Structure formats: structure tokens, C-alpha cells
Amino acid sequence: MSIFHSTVSRREFMKGLGLAGTGLGAASLVTPVFHDTDEMMSSSSADWKRPWYVKELELEKPSVEVDWSMIYRPGGAIGPISGKPVGNWTGQGADCQSYFLGEEERVLRGSKGGPYSAEALKSGQNGMSHRCRALSAGNYQYPITYLGPTTGSTPTTLGIPRWNGTPEENARLMRTAMIHFGAAEIGYNELTANSKKLIRAYDKANNKPYLYEDVPVGYEATDKMVLPANVQLYDFAWTYPMNKEGFRSSPHSDLQGAANSMRYSEISIIQPRVQQFTKCLGFTTYGYVSSGTSGPTASEGPATLAGLGEGGRNNGVFITPSYGPVAGIFTMLTDLPLAPTPPIDSGSWRFCQTCTLCADTCPCECISKDHEPTWEIPPIYGKPDTTHIPGKKQFWTNGVECWTAKQQWGGCGKCMGVCTFNTDQGPIHSYVRTIVANTGVFNGFLWQMGKTFGYDEAEDKEAWFDKSQPSHSFNSALVTKGIAY
């Protein structure tokens, strides 16, 4: 049951940890009284959160004066080129330009852009360099495919050399581009003999085998998915955070379904963008063949190795320091050299070994309640559990029970919704994350506090519609550094 109006001052909270007045800035923790996150974030209506100085005016009377008697519907002028009514009678339209400039001058001005851009690209002009062109090329909508768009610019068509950045430069470039295209956080792995074991034997969507061949670029055939055997490949993992409040409405919730499925529609946009981006640089990126499945690698392993987060008690859940468990994870392969990012310890995996909140609230009881992870995979339904691959010391979830249960009752993501790390980045949660990352002494107390603050299934699920929430339902500024967004 959610406890909406529970209150705890910061000092009381730190006293509960036994840390008040012990060098953690105790004087700053005395006031004000901290209320639970639902109370802080919800509002009576989903109105815009605007600065105090913004005033509302009368309907149809904006700050720029308007005389409605003078206004007419746009478009319909007869174009001198087409001789017909045109819709685009603006400075952007060819007919409009021709009318005001004359056709000869319009054509002359239009002919200058291509040569100018080509020369600027070849000379590396600031703002029109190779990487700038690649970023711009990736901005459009393309179908989602294994190898990405078949059209578009390459170094050859542009008449310039292939991009030649260092792995460190490429990693920074890829991170910047991916965030621009819609991702939140990005990490990298260089494929080795070990990490190649994370590449699927068969594709999850089309059941074609992944094979290595001595080719410079991989390809998809009617009966196989091919990767180049003698080209160094890199796995890059990235997150697309989902709506925390939507997951708190689990189970039996289309709101949770909407929160979960948003990532799949977004990958159908983001993946072709980055594939076109790397293509323009002169490299290949191998991705998903459809938006709702998985690519050449299962995402959690590469994301863990790349330092995006850690595994959880439910071994199908991945917990990131910035966004908690409610984040979609995707991975793709590329031949663009990328400096690897190491795995991390944020304290969340250690915390999961104490906390059993997800297991206690799981509607189908498919999550282990043990406190010691194990190498041994327990059987399910009297049979060896071959849904999991051995080699990891973790807790083991009955995935068959999980998936078939949620199929029966309108979906479920309760383990992620109630997770102690499914919180915002308010000050109190930052304190908790700092403590968890440095010691496990208080883990038992902290996960019990999550119950006190009401991080459980929402009592009124459709109150979601009245909450003020960020665009795309996550705070993209969390990953910015040094900029006051």
C-alpha cells in the first residue's frame, strides 16, 4: 500500500542511518522537511512547469498584437514556375523565390550551395567538417535493418578520406552523436575471444545463424547473418530510459506497457541514424533486424562490461546508476575503433543481495529470495533450466513463469517499478546512492525505508495522466556535464 503523506526530515533520515552530525554536512541536513517523491513530483493537472514570471493572457490575444480581420489562410498564390496555386508561398519555396528574385537569380543562388559545402567539407571548415556532415546525415528517418540505410553519403561519394580518429576520439564522437540521436548513456567493448561469446548463435527475430566469414563487411543472406572474421569489431551499448511512474502501475497496466514499448519505437529511429552516421564516416554498424527484438548480442552482458550498470536480483533486470532499473538497453556492433569503458561497481548489485523487495512483491513468485548468489542454475518444472547460460554467479529467475504470467494479465514490470533504485535524482536519493556505493552496512535499513516512502504499486494507476513529467518521460540532463540545463 502506498503511503502518500509520510514525511521525514533529512536530519531524521540521517539519524536513522546513524550518520547525523558525522561529517556528511549534517548542518545542511536539518531542514527542510522532505516529503515523498510522489508528493513532490505530482500536480493537480499535467500543466507546463513554467517560470514564475510567465503570465497567461486571454485566449487568441497573444503578446504580439493581432488584427483577425486582416488575416487570411496561407498558400494558394499562383506560382510563376508551376503556373498553379502553390502551398509553400514562403521564402523557402521555389515559386515564391522566383516571383520576388526572378528565375535566373533564384537558380544562380541555388547553384552556389553544393560547391560551397563540398569545398568546406574537404577543407575541414569549422562547423562543416567530416564529423559535422556525418551527424547531419544521420538525422533522418530510415527503415530498421541489420546494416542500415542503403542510400546516403559515404567518404567515397563525398570525395574525402575515411574518418581517421583515435579510439578515444571516436568514443567521444560516438557518445556525442548518440545522445544527439536520442540515447542517454553509451559504453564500449572491444570484441575479444571472451566477449565474442556474447554474440548470438542465432538471431532472436529471424532465427538465422550468425556466422563469421573472411569478408571486409558483413551482410545478411536468406539463410544467415554474416560478420567479418578478420575485422576488429566493437560492441557499443546504450540506454533509453523509460517512464518510472508507468512501471509503478504494474501489474495489469497498459501504462506500464506504454512505458516499456516506447524504447522499441525509439530504437527504430535511433539505430538507422547511428548507422547512417558511421556510414558517412566510412564504417559499418550492425544492428537489430526489427525494433522489438535484439541485435547480434544480448544487451545486458555488453552493457555490464561497458560500465552502464550492474545486474539485479531479477537477473533479467539491469540497474544503472543514473536511471535505475527502468531503462531500455540496446547494443550494436561496429568496425569504428572505440576505446573500451570498464565495468563499474555502484553498490547496486551488493544492495540486491540484501534487498528482496522485488522478489517479495513478484505476483508469480519467480524471483529468488536467497541472499547468496550462486553459480548453480536451479531446475524449473523438474527440468534443467536451459533458458540461462552458465558462467555467472548471480540469482536465477524463472523466465518462463515470468513471461507466461504477464501474458495472462495485461503485462507486468512490477519488479522494476518497486525497485529501491526506481527513484528520481532528488538530494535524498543522491545521499542514498552515495552510501550504497561505499558500504553495505545500511542496505537493510535503506530498502525498508523504500516501503515507508511508498515506492510500491500505485493505488490509482491513472493518476499518471495528472503528473507533470519530463519530455520522453526521463531527465536527459542527468548525463550532461558542466552545462546548466
Ordered per-residue pLDDT tens for the chain, 485 residues: 444 444 555 555 555 555 555 444 443 443 344 444 444 444 444 466 778 888 989 999 999 999 999 999 888 899 999 899 999 999 999 999 999 999 999 999 999 999 999 999 999 999 999 999 999 998 888 889 999 999 989 999 999 999 999 999 999 999 999 999 999 999 999 999 999 999 999 999 999 999 999 999 999 999 999 999 999 999 999 999 999 889 988 898 899 999 999 998 899 999 999 999 999 999 999 999 987 777 899 899 999 999 999 999 999 899 999 899 999 999 999 999 999 999 999 989 998 998 898 999 999 999 999 999 999 999 999 999 999 999 999 999 999 999 999 889 888 999 999 898 888 766 556 667 677 666 666 666 666 666 666 666 677 889 888 888 888 878 887 777 655 55
Look up residue 319 and give its amino acid. I
CA distances from residue 328 to 150, 163, 184, 385, 439 in whole angstroms, order as listed:
27, 30, 10, 25, 28
Q: Hunting for cell 531479477 — which residue is that?
A: 314
3-state SS, residue 415: helix
Query: For position 429, what pLDDT does the model report?
Result: 63
Strands in 176-295 per DSSP E: 186-190, 210-213, 219-220, 225-228, 234-241, 285-286
d(CA 441, CA 435): 9
Residue 17: other Cβ atoms inside 10 A: 17
What angle in degrees, to the nearest 10, is found between the helix axes of 443-452 and 10-17?
Answer: 140
Whether 219 contacts 226, CB under 8 Å: yes
Q: In 3D, which of 407, 408, 422, 425 has the Cα closest to residue 458?
A: 422
Distance of CA 18 to the CA centre of its chain: 37
CA 210 vs. chain centroid, Å, equals: 26
SS3 of 196, please?
helix
Category of 473 on φ-ψ map: left (φ > 0), alpha (ψ -120 to 50) or beta: left
Whether the Cβ atoms of residue 375 and residue 390 lie closer than 8 Å to each other: yes
Distance CA(357)–CA(443), nearest Å, equals 12
Which helix (H) or strand (E) element contains residue 332?
strand 327-334
391: left (phi over 0), alpha (psi -120 to 50) or beta: left
Contact 16, 29 (CB under 8 A): no
Q: How far apart are CA 39 and CA 7, in angstroms?
A: 10
Residues contacting 348, CB < 8 A, separation 6+:
309, 310, 312, 319, 321, 421, 436
Distances (CA, A) of 397 to 17, 98, 367, 390, 407: 31, 68, 5, 13, 17
Neighbours of 479 (CB within 10 A): 17
Separation CA 416–CA 396 (nearest Å): 16
Q: Could you report how far apart the first and last alpha carbons of the chain are, in Å? A: 36
For residue 221, give the C-alpha cell.
Answer: 543472406
pLDDT of res. 480: 72
Q: Rounded CA gap, 234 and 167, in Å?
A: 10
* Three-state secondary-structure class, residue 246: helix
DSSP 3: -
Angle, CA 220 vertex, CA 216 and CA 224 arms, to 5°: 105
SS3 label, residue 78? strand
DSSP state for residue 79 in the 8-state scheme:
P
DSSP result, 143-175: ---SS--SSS--HHHHTSPPP---HHHHHHHHH
Return the biggest CA–CA distance within the chain.
Answer: 82
